[in-house]
Amino acid sequence: MSVTFEQIQAAAQRIAPHIHRTPLLQSTLLNQLTGAELYFKAEHLQKTGAFKARGAHNAVFSLTDEEAARGVVTHSSGNHAAALALAAQRRGIRADIVMPSNASVAKMDAVRGYGGHIHRCEPTLLSRESTAAALQRESERVFIHPFDNDAVIAGQGTVGLEITEQLAAPADVVITPVGGGGLLAGCATAIKAQWPQCQMIGAEPFGSDNATRSFHSGERVTSYQSETVCDGLRAVIGQRNFELIKTQVDDIQLVGDDTILHAMRLVWSRLKQVIEPSAAVALALVLANPTAFRGKKVVVVLTGGNLDLDRLLW
Amino acid sequence: MSVTFEQIQAAAQRIAPHIHRTPLLQSTLLNQLTGAELYFKAEHLQKTGAFKARGAHNAVFSLTDEEAARGVVTHSSGNHAAALALAAQRRGIRADIVMPSNASVAKMDAVRGYGGHIHRCEPTLLSRESTAAALQRESERVFIHPFDNDAVIAGQGTVGLEITEQLAAPADVVITPVGGGGLLAGCATAIKAQWPQCQMIGAEPFGSDNATRSFHSGERVTSYQSETVCDGLRAVIGQRNFELIKTQVDDIQLVGDDTILHAMRLVWSRLKQVIEPSAAVALALVLANPTAFRGKKVVVVLTGGNLDLDRLLW
């Protein structure tokens, strides 16, 4: 196994000075609506507004001084970009972030706000990877992949570890969104180590279904789709991630964008929490399958709260 | 004095089984932006999504059994309506709520969801008051005014009491929005009793400036204006409220709608909290007067999170 429970425990200690221990939120009204006992792990309240801060900090603070001195590089249009910039800033090293030309102004501003150096590229995976690879070669910078990286997976796994510490008795089900699979793989490893009877489920949008197809066929599907409002979940599931998910996750299920937006709206109106569409997929799965979760104690991970309010509101 | 600190302590005990003890939230970014040490009292996370649940529960649970059996009545287009309906439901008594014909569908749905009986009226203060008075006479129902009521003021004062319990050392300043003045009067009474050196400030929109004019002239101004996005603050300051505010509040200051909406947006994007425009007025005052608050420990009350998302988002 590439990432162990002990590595997640070590990650939790390593990143504790830099990240928030986020609360588990509850809502009487959402419990009534779903018939489930729901706990919302509030990673939209995490540093940088997303769980990605955990993996990035664990990766950056796991580097030797010699490695750290060379700086870090990644490609990301989203929350990993800001997370890596902040982690590098906290360690006092340089971060070079390759961002596609269609990345939002808000996301780029966040990276710059944390002192990251942005390099623009074409909005294709090929352009992102080649631009990052060139930067990496240039000064032997350390490449920190957004999800297909053991230290990143272990960092994201601390979400699961915290959940097991925060609830007095095991949950029946834990659900996380799945994109590249870092959060799902890390959480599954932590949850199954502590609560072997707990069901671990991934939730994926119909418009980006490669993790579901990979899980059910047993072969990693690498075709890339992005027909979903969940801009944080458009990645292809990682190799390391898939190996962990295959053995430790009970199921990955699909849900539609309409249900995802409805779930997002419920979180805004009932929990009064600003979450991004990608963060609503786990609750959407509960709403779409009410009988499956009724009467159960279900933890739903709210992954992030970064979205362009200008496009919605003002 | 109409409401004493002891009455607020008694209110806190009385309502404790029914309301949330809301957290004080912080944001590194908003502290950097303002140069102040800011604490946000999260009353948008209160039952019914607003601090009004406190006053309504204190009023309803202060009634004798004989009074309660007659039921309660009020007029409100906003958060007091839902709060009174819930409090009555919890006590098992009837609530009749007069709501103007222009009240939002969401607000009416909330009242119905808590079992309240809605009576429509014209959108004028005269029509509201006469409709409520008729209902009151009809079955000797007990009228619970939204703010000009000692039990309501004592209930809202528990916000201030909790703040003094939650912070280890006194704040330099506490700021609340002011509409009818229930929250400001109650909080001032609690804050000044515990932290006599703390500055107590009310924040009011320019478009509804009667509390500010009353405070600075010493005479209660009863002219009604509603040229503001803050639909929760369009009331005329109450008589009981004004008497408490005159002696216990240090200042009431005005702030513009543009700054209020900017503050609301910062709370959404930085704190990831959904608040309504009326709830952003206290932070807006800090943003509008940066030098006055720099270096100070400032508590800002976020009063509620009920707004019509349809009109903003979908």
State the CATH number of the domain containing residue B80: 3.40.50.1100
- For the beta carbon of residue B32, count every other beta carbon within 10 angstroms: 10
Q: In chain B, which residues have their Cβ closer than 8 Å to the Cβ of A268? A: 274, 309, 313
As a whole number of angstroms, the distance between CA B306 and CA B167 comes to: 27
As a whole number of angstroms, the distance between CA B114 and CA B226 comes to: 28
Nearest to A285 by CA among A185, A198, A174: A174
The answer on B218 and B125 residing in a single domain is no
As a whole number of angstroms, the distance between CA B27 and CA A274 comes to: 15
**CB within 8 Å of A230: residues ≥ 6 apart:** A177, A179, A205, A207, A208, A257, A260, A277, A278, A281
Report the chain B residue with the minimal C-alpha distance to residue A258.
B314
Model pLDDT for residues B194-207, shown as the tens digit of each residue: 999 999 999 999 99
What pTM, to 2 d.p., does this model score? 0.93
The answer on B98 and B13 residing in a single domain is no
B311 touches chain A (CB under 8 A): no
pLDDT of residue A77: 79
As a whole number of angstroms, the distance between CA B263 and CA B267 comes to: 6
The answer on B279 and B154 residing in a single domain is yes
The answer on A284 and A226 residing in a single domain is yes
As a whole number of angstroms, the distance between CA B228 and CA B242 comes to: 21
Model pLDDT for residues A33-55, shown as the tens digit of each residue: 999 999 999 999 999 999 999 99
Number of H-type helices and E-type strands within chain A: 15, 10
As a whole number of angstroms, the distance between CA A1 and CA B99 comes to: 62
Strand partners, B96: B73, B117
Q: Which of A45, A269, A312 sits opposite B272 (nearest CB)?
A: A45
Cross-chain residue pair B309–A261, CB shorter than 8 Å: no
The answer on A58 and A46 residing in a single domain is no
As a whole number of angstroms, the distance between CA A61 and CA B198 comes to: 42
A258 touches chain B (CB under 8 A): no
Q: In chain A, which residues have their Cβ closer than 8 Å to the Cβ of B273? A: 272-274
The answer on B165 and B217 residing in a single domain is yes
Q: Which range marks the domain in which residue B16 is found? A: 5-50+149-311
The answer on A83 and A210 residing in a single domain is no
Q: How confident is the model at residue B107 (pLDDT cuts 50, 70, 90)?
A: confident
B16 touches chain A (CB under 8 A): no
Considering A143, A163, A191, which residue would you say is the last residue of a domain? Answer: A143
Q: In chain B, which residues have their Cβ closer than 8 Å to the Cβ of A313? A: 265, 268, 312-313
As a whole number of angstroms, the distance between CA B14 and CA A101 comes to: 58
Please identify among residues 28-57 of chain B the ones whose CB lies closer than 8 Å to any CB of chain A: 44-45, 49
The answer on A279 and A194 residing in a single domain is yes
Q: How confident is the model at residue B313 (pLDDT cuts 50, 70, 90)?
A: low
Quote ipTM for the complex. Answer: 0.91
Considering B143, B170, B193, which residue would you say is the last residue of a domain? Answer: B143
Inform me whether the pLDDT recorded for A162 exceeds 70. Answer: yes
The answer on B234 and B169 residing in a single domain is yes
The answer on B12 and B123 residing in a single domain is no
Mean pLDDT of A281-302: 97
Across chain A, mean pLDDT equals 95
Distance from CA of B283 to the nearest CA of A (A): 18
Cross-chain residue pair B274–A272, CB shorter than 8 Å: yes
Model pLDDT for residues A15-25, shown as the tens digit of each residue: 999 999 999 99
Considering A101, A120, A143, which residue would you say is the last residue of a domain? Answer: A143
Q: Encoding tokens for residue B285?
A: 């005052």
As a whole number of angstroms, the distance between CA A311 and CA A277 comes to: 13
B95, amino acid identity:
A
Helix (H, G, I), strand (E, B) or coil at A173: strand
Helix (H, G, I), strand (E, B) or coil at A251: strand
The answer on A127 and A44 residing in a single domain is no
The answer on B164 and B306 residing in a single domain is yes
Task: Answer with the residue of higher pLDDT: B224 or A218.
Answer: A218
Total domains in the fold of chain A: 2
Number of CB pairs, chain A paired with chain B, less than 8 A apart: 40
Q: In chain B, which residues have their Cβ closer than 8 Å to the Cβ of A314? A: 261, 265
pLDDT of residue B1: 58
Chain centroid, CA A238 distance in Å: 13
A19 touches chain B (CB under 8 A): no
